[in-house]
Structure formats: C-alpha cells, structure tokens
Structure 1
Amino acid sequence: MVKLAFGSIGDSCSLGSFKAYLAEFISTLLFVFAGVGSAIAYNKLTSDASLDPAGLVAVALAHAFALFVGVSMAANISGGHLNPAVTFGLAIGGYITILTGIFYWIAQLLGSIVACFLLKYVTSGKSIPTHGVAAGMNAFEGVVMEIIITFALVYTVYATAADPKKGSLGTIAPIAIGFIVGANILAAGPFSGGSMNPARSFGPAVASGNFSQNWIYWVGPLIGGGLAGLIYGDIFIGCYTPLPVSEDYA
C-alpha cells in the first residue's frame, strides 16, 4: 500500500530542512563530480571514447567509493539520498513527504548540474559523457535494465538503512549502498549505462546539451525505486514510519 503524504510548508521550509537540502546538494555534487570525472579521466588517459573492461571496473569503483562517502557525509543531516529515485522510493514507504521530496530533488539536480559544469571548466572544456543505451538495445530494454538495478539499490537502502529492525546493519548501510551501485554498474554499464539515478544522468545531459535518451533514466529508476519502496515497505516493514527520522537515512 502506497503511504504518500504531501506534508506541510512549515516542515519543509524549516531551518533543519534547509540544512538537509544543502547537504543533499553538496553530497550529490561531490558524488557526480567523482563519478563523471572518472569517466572523463579514463577517456583522457586512453584517448578512447569507449570503456574497455578495465575502464568499466575503474568507473564502477569510483562511483561506489564516491557514493559510500557521499551517503556517509549526509546521513546524519539529510539521510544521504543523493538520488531522486531513492527519495521517491522512501516517499512511497512514508519516510519522507512529497513536498520535502520535491525540495530534495531540486537540491540533487542542482548539485549534479553544478558538478558537471565544474568538470567542464576544470578539464578545459572536455566533453561530458552522457548516459545512453548500447548499440543493439532499444529504449524499452534500457528502461527495464534501469528498473531492475534501481530496484536493487533502493531495496538495499530499505534493508540496511530504513528498516526499523535493521539493528547493527545501519552502521554499514553506506558501504552496502556503495557496493550495490558499483556491482550494478559492472553488470549494466555496457548495456544501459548503469545510472540508477536521474540526477546522475540529468546533470551531464544539461552540461552537454544532449537530452536524447535522458527520459530513460527518469522512467526506469523511478519505477524501480517506487517498486522497492512499495514491496519492502509493505511486506517487510508493514507499518507507517513518520518523517523525520534523519538518523535512519530518511
């Protein structure tokens, strides 16, 4: 059962909420800077626009490490979402209100956009790589791939951070979340790009001016994140947990 709650202006515009939005902005900026920057750096070092297996591993590790650090930095302030799909999945389970979630989205998208323009500046105008499905795949296959891997990510968030019965798992949540993202990039990178994160895809699209397949990285992750919130929240948690519970990742 969906547990969406709209929320109030007072709660979403409090000083604590603005601190949470700033934390999401900074953490998403640093995550995207490291993730996109790793792809730019690899292309520069190899003079090759396509990633070979070593490059895929390097980019996956960069995203895993950066997300682990980003979640850890923001966890006690905003919950450390860094991802509109995570925010949406937690909203489905009643862990964050719609209104606060919208402000989270704005902060995350702005952080990604700023990160990509900073990368463009500090690399002397290097092209910003965007997500797109591989040759031979169609858009629907890309959406399904993104649904599956984002489901895995948000399910991991619930299991290690949002479940009230998580116990000591909460202390390793950022590690588990970073690991699942790295593993999913290794699995899906050569096919859909392995985004799992609309903000991670939107920033590069804005900086490069290429929105041709960007919708895939909204539809797929939001469906996957929403399904994870619905399934884990209803089957394994089974009760509404009100906002805010900032120390519990949400």
Structure 2
Amino acid sequence: MSKEETAVEELESRKKPYDEPEPTPLLDTSEFTKWSLYRALIAEFIATLLFLYITIATVIGYKNQSMTEACTGVGFLGVSWAFGGSIFVLVYCIGGISGGHINPAVTFGLLVGRKISLARAILYIIAQCLGAICGAGIVKGVMKHPYNSLGGGANSVTEGYSKGAALGAEIMGTFVLVYTVFSATDPKRTARDSFIPVLVPLPIGFAVFIAHLATIPITGTGINPARSLGAAVVYNQKEIWDDHWIFWVGPLIGALAAAVYHKFVLRGGAVKALSSFRNSSTV
C-alpha cells in the first residue's frame, strides 16, 4: 500500500461517526422546568438589546455626520459592517447558551427545520422583540434630537421602489442569512469535514453584512423582524407602520424557503422521503 493510500485511511479513521440527529419534538413542555431555557431567553434578550443599540446608533450617527458635512461618516459600507460585525460578536458570545438566534426569522427557520421546539421558538421571539425595543429605546435616550429628526433607524420602503420590490429584497436577504445559518451549524459538517466550531459565527456575520450591502438602498435592510419592530415602536410614526408588514412577511418567507431548501434539497430530505415511500409501497 502506498504512502498516499495509508494517509487517506488514517484520515478516514480519525473522522467522527455521524448519525443524523433526531428532529426536536414540536411540543416539548419539559423545557419549562429547565433553567437552561430561561438562561437562553435572558441571553437572547440582552444580545438583541445590544444588537439594536450598536446598529441603530451607527445608523443615526452616520446620518447625523452626513447632514453636517457631505461625504463623511461611515457610509453604507460602515453601517453594513456594524450589523454584520455585531452579529458575529454576539453569536460568538451566546451561541453555546441559546444558539445565538437574535432574530425571529432565524428562530422561525430553525423551527421549520425541527431544530427547536414550538414553545422555545415562541419564547425566543418574545425575548428578541422586547430586547429590540429596549435597545432602540436606549439609543433614543442617548441621541434624542438626531434620533427623532433622522428617522430613528426605522425600516421603510425607499422612494422609487415598490412595496413588491421591497418584499422581494427582504425575502432574498433573509434567505441568504438563514441558508448560511443552516450550513454553518450543520452537524454533518462537524462530523465529517475539517471544521473549527469557533468559526461558526463568522459566515453568519458575513451573511448579514452582504445582505445589508444589497438591500440598504431599498428598505434600509430589515431581514430581522425584531430589529424592525424595535425601531418602529420607539420611533412610532405612521409612515413607518404602513410598511411594517413587509419586514415580517418578507423575512418569514425567506426563512421558510431557506429551511425547506436546506432540508429537502441539500440534505436530500425529499429523496429520502420518496425512497421510503417506494420501499413501503413494494412491501
């Protein structure tokens, strides 16, 4: 046997055995008795609060600087880095506690993919929305005058774009994010590939970054219903609420599409189901 063949066999022997994890039960009431659930809810609340504080403050600061002197401030690129970088940091901090969702669309996608239970998903979304409102409220308290005069960092459809275009942008941006979340956290990757778990937050942060680059000119980029809700509640203007449905419907559709694509296409769920059906029908 050649040295190359021996090396390949040694590498194969080092790989961890892989068993497909069982889907999480949809209704798991036992979670309510575990401290880990409540610790995760606190982590999601605080992380979303920090996310809104960092990102909305960046948006308001950029607009304020641009108003006083043209071509100053961080620009769209800097705003995108603020969103992507903060997600990278926060997912890294709480990934081992709550999974680091910080986004109801991500939570919904993982629910569709049977990665979390319905009860946990609902509680996560509530914690995320409350954290977002508190985070936006802190920004308003710190930057009250520019916050009120510069739109409060709230999402709306940019003039010149239709609501249909805005909805499509939100769907596509969220698809990119949730698709990346599924790929980065795929248990098969850790078992069979050369993989460093600490890098999981990095592609997720970059997905948020590139989604913002693409959609800031259209909607200001939502792709996170909690982020949109927090800013809308604190800013509280009618024109913002008129478009607000887009920033829930779009992300939820995008998350659903990403979960279905990953489960039934990339992971072969549709093929496995069809094969099982054919085998049972021949018995």
What TM-score, normalized to structure 1? 0.88
Query: More displaced, 51-60 or 144-153?
Result: 51-60
AA aligned to 2:211 is N
Structure 1 residue 235: Cα displacement: 2.4
- The alignment status of 1:233 with 2:252, answered yes or no, reads no
Q: How does 1:42-191 map to 2 (within 5 A)?
A: 42-47=62-67, 55-125=75-145, 126-127=147-148, 128-161=152-185, 163-167=186-190, 168=195, 170-191=197-218
Q: Where does residue 201 of structure 1 map in the other structure?
A: 228
**Aligned partner of residue 75 in structure 1, secondary structure:** helix
Q: For the Cα contact (< 8 Å) 1:4–1:93, is it kept in 2?
A: no
The verdict on how the C-alpha distance between 1:51 and 1:193 changes in structure 2, with shifts beyond 3 A counting, is farther
Q: For the Cα contact (< 8 Å) 2:26–2:116, is it kept in 1?
A: no
In 2, distance between residues paired with 1:86 and 1:64? 15
Q: CA RMSD in A?
A: 2.0
- The alignment status of 1:39 with 2:59, answered yes or no, reads yes
**Aligned partner of residue 190 in structure 1, secondary structure:** helix
Structure 1 residue 148: Cα displacement: 0.7
The verdict on how the C-alpha distance between 1:169 and 1:213 changes in structure 2, with shifts beyond 3 A counting, is farther
**Which residues of structure 1 form unaligned runs of 5+?**
240-250
Q: Deviations over 1:164-222 (max 9, x none)?
A: 11221533121111111111111111012221100110000000113221110000000
The counterpart of 2:219, out of the listed 158, 170, 192, is: 192
The verdict on how the C-alpha distance between 1:141 and 1:215 changes in structure 2, with shifts beyond 3 A counting, is same
In 2, distance between residues paired with 1:4 and 1:94? 5
Q: Where does residue 222 of structure 1 map in the other structure?
A: 252
Q: Where does residue 278 of structure 2 map in the other structure?
A: none
Q: Deviations over 1:53-88 (max 9, x none)?
A: 951011001111111011111100000000000000
**Aligned partner of residue 47 in structure 2, secondary structure:** helix
Task: Report the count of equivalent residues.
Answer: 235
Structure 1 residue 5: Cα displacement: 4.8
AA aligned to 1:26 is I
Q: Deviations over 1:26-59 (max 9, x none)?
A: 11111111111100111222226x9999510110
The verdict on how the C-alpha distance between 1:142 and 1:169 changes in structure 2, with shifts beyond 3 A counting, is farther
The verdict on how the C-alpha distance between 1:13 and 1:85 changes in structure 2, with shifts beyond 3 A counting, is farther
The verdict on how the C-alpha distance between 1:96 and 1:214 changes in structure 2, with shifts beyond 3 A counting, is same
Identity %: 36
Task: Name which structure has the greater RCO, CA cutoff 8 Å, separation 6+.
Answer: 1
Q: For the Cα contact (< 8 Å) 2:48–2:102, is it kept in 1?
A: yes
**Aligned partner of residue 172 in structure 2, secondary structure:** helix
